[in-house]
Structure 1
Amino acid sequence: MASAQVTGTTAQRPHAGGGAGSHGRARDWAEIQERMLVPLYQAVYRRLEVGPATSLLGLGCRSGLALLLAAERGAQVAGLEAEAELRELAEGRRLRVAGAGGVDRSGQSVPRSAYSLVTVFEELAYVADPAVLVLEAAALTLQGGHVVLAGWGPPERCESAGVLEVARRRSVRTPSFDPFALSSPGALEELCAGVGLRPAGSGRVSCPFAYPDLDSAVRGMLSTGLYGGAIEEWGPALVTKELEEALHPFVQADASVRMANVFRYVVAEQPR
């Protein structure tokens, strides 16, 4: 496998008012929210037949659940994650995850710059210029290998859209990035084509957000990092109150909370 230093673009990303690690919410992400995207991870891995022959890099891998699922399939995995709290949780899962400059906790670089699969499952919603991130993903992919980009589906298909609106409405001085900015038809494919990748398929996956109670739902949504700017401007009490109000229509008879959502992914090939 080709070897070179992993670039630091991902580690230097500007977050939408702070990542999932901000305000001490990394563990809520790992314990509550991350599992909501398991159907997306598994759908991609099934489609690409991820297994022992796969070398996988997760860009913006967060606390590493997607990497862990790929490793269980036999893949060789590594990750890049900017948030130190999230990176520590991933390392607790015995995953090799690097931060700034592609350096892991032991001080060693993650050197493999050519992977058969590079995934960008959550990161696109957190960067100011997604094209730069996709260019990085392409540069780290073997010829004939694949890049996977994923994001929210159309807002009209996502019941969480109104809950996420709290972040936009309350982030005045620190505008939040729009998580649905790339949900329009062809947007992800255009990003791939712009860096020379060849689209090789796409799919939509149902990812319901389900929580045992309202408190877990609030903690889970806050852990996404999309509410960081709102919290900084208005404080956690007000943002939490508005989140509870926005979540109220989705509270079930047993006090659990459930929101139907659709996520979309695109598979692109690095030409030989």
Structure 2
Amino acid sequence: MASVQVPGTTAQRPRGHGGGAAFGWARDWAEIQERTLVPLYQAVYERLEVGPATSLLGLGCRSGLALLLAAARGAQVAGEEPEAELRELARARGLLVSAGGYEAPGARTGPALPRSAHSLVTVFDRLPGSADPARLVAEAARRTLRGGQVVLAVWGPPERCESAPVLEVAQRRGHAVTPFALSGPGVLEELAVRAGLRPAGGGLVSCPFAYPDLESAVRGMLATGLYRSAVEDSGAALVAKELEESLQPYVAAAADAAADGPGAAGPVRMANVFRYLVAEQPG
């Protein structure tokens, strides 16, 4: 899987933690999974002509790659991320990221950034599986300047996402909200209208999930956070085993992996589609 050519995108190990297990899942997100959403980030930024005139706030910015891509276009960027491990990785990339004050069950939070408004507020990753999406969208609207824009992103239709059967492991082994709960027609629009926003179009973006091997695929999917309740209920080993089984249809044929040696698994690739909505804050 090709790396993203943006200065500073490599997640550095936060000092003083010695690479302990607490940072394992966060580093897997930053180093394996995060880049799978780059086509989504780039499509939104191109459509909205993000540049030097843009003041961007990323709600649930995770380890900050979306912010880095916007900053590379000249935007002024800041983020809020309730997960401490991800927040520290984002700060290690030189980004201004606070704990924030929106929905964050069980998260360790701290002082939030000043509640200033921005010309663009993005919610790229936190809506799928959210326990209270209406609250999160309302917070995004509240942080947007009059005449500004909010971008909400979710998984596309499950029939167009090869990861759908893999994500079912989270529902079988835990009590997670389905990540496709907001993917139906009109659902995002309704959330936006309830928050006082005006829907202004959107789109579907192809975001293939590609991994060099099965182990990386398991680690990347676990890093999405969608399997957290499954791991708590059934244990990491069992969830990982079921993930491996569900990923088998997407492993490259044995002939394609022959160069890796006997018994080696080939690359893993799943075609997925994500949907985004642009909503405007009335002037």
- TM-score, normalisation: structure 1: 0.87
Gaps of 5+ in 2: 1-20, 103-109, 258-265
**Cα gap change, 1:228/1:101 in structure 2, threshold over 3 Å: closer, same or farther?**
closer
Are residue 138 (structure 1) and residue 141 (structure 2) matched?
yes
SS at 2:128 equivalent: helix
Shift of 1:127: 2.4
Partner of 1:14: none
1:195-234 to 2 correspondences below 5 Å: 195-234=195-234
Are residue 30 (structure 1) and residue 41 (structure 2) matched?
no
Shift of 1:139: 0.6
1:8-27 to 2 correspondences below 5 Å: 24-27=24-27
Partner of 2:170: 167
Shift of 1:108: 6.8
In structure 2, C-alpha distance between the alignment counterparts of 1:218 and 1:50, rounded to whole Å: 33
The structure with higher relative contact order (CA 8 Å, sep 6+) is 1
In structure 2, C-alpha distance between the alignment counterparts of 1:101 and 1:134, rounded to whole Å: 13
Partner of 2:73: 73
Are residue 128 (structure 1) and residue 131 (structure 2) matched?
yes
In structure 2, C-alpha distance between the alignment counterparts of 1:45 and 1:125, rounded to whole Å: 21
Partner of 1:179: 179
Gaps of 5+ in 1: 1-20
Shift of 1:232: 1.4
Percent of matched pairs sharing the same residue: 73
Runs of 4+ in 1 over 6 A off after TM superposition: none
SS at 1:159 equivalent: coil
Aligned residues: 245
Maintained 8 Å contact 2:99/2:112? no
Partner of 1:263: 274
Shift of 1:195: 1.2
Partner of 2:18: none
Shift of 1:176: 0.4
In structure 1, C-alpha distance between the alignment counterparts of 2:176 and 2:237, rounded to whole Å: 19
Partner of 1:56: 56
**Cα gap change, 1:101/1:199 in structure 2, threshold over 3 Å: closer, same or farther?**
closer
Shift of 1:119: 0.2
Are residue 155 (structure 1) and residue 158 (structure 2) matched?
yes
Shift of 1:100: 4.6
SS at 1:25 equivalent: helix
Question: 2:280 corresponds to which letter in structure 1?
Answer: E
Shift of 1:183: 0.4
Maintained 8 Å contact 2:100/2:112? no
Maintained 8 Å contact 2:137/2:192? yes
Maintained 8 Å contact 1:170/1:234? yes
Shift of 1:109: 4.8
Cα deviation 1:211-245 (Å, max 9, x = unaligned): 00000000000001111111112211111111000
**Cα gap change, 1:177/1:198 in structure 2, threshold over 3 Å: closer, same or farther?**
same
**Cα gap change, 1:55/1:263 in structure 2, threshold over 3 Å: closer, same or farther?**
same
Shift of 1:126: 4.0
Cα deviation 1:110-152 (Å, max 9, x = unaligned): 2252100000001112421111111110010001100000000
Cα deviation 1:159-194 (Å, max 9, x = unaligned): 0000000010011xxx10110000001111111111
- TM-score, normalisation: structure 2: 0.84
Question: 2:134 corresponds to which letter in structure 1?
Answer: A
